[in-house]
Amino acid sequence: MRISGAVWAYAVSAAVLFAVAVPVTWERGRDSFPQSPYPMFSRKREPVITLHYVVGLGGDQRASMPPEFIANEEPILAKVTVRRAVRAGRKRTRALCAAVAARVAQRDDYAWVEHVAVMTGRFDAIAYLGGEQMPLSERRRARCRVVRGQRT
Residues 56-104 pLDDT 10s: 999 999 999 999 999 999 999 999 999 999 999 999 999 999 999 999 9
150 belongs to a structural domain: no
Domain count, the chain: 2
* pTM across the whole model: 0.70
| Same-domain status, 98 and 37 | no
Could you read off the pLDDT of 3-54 as tens digits, one per residue?
778 888 888 899 888 887 776 776 766 666 655 656 666 667 788 999 999 9
| Same-domain status, 65 and 34 | no
Res 152 pLDDT > 60: no
Element (H, E) at 57: strand 48-58
CA distances from 145 to 34, 117, 120, 136 (A): 50, 9, 19, 26
Q: Which domain holds residue 35?
A: 5-42
Q: What is the pLDDT of residue 149?
A: 80
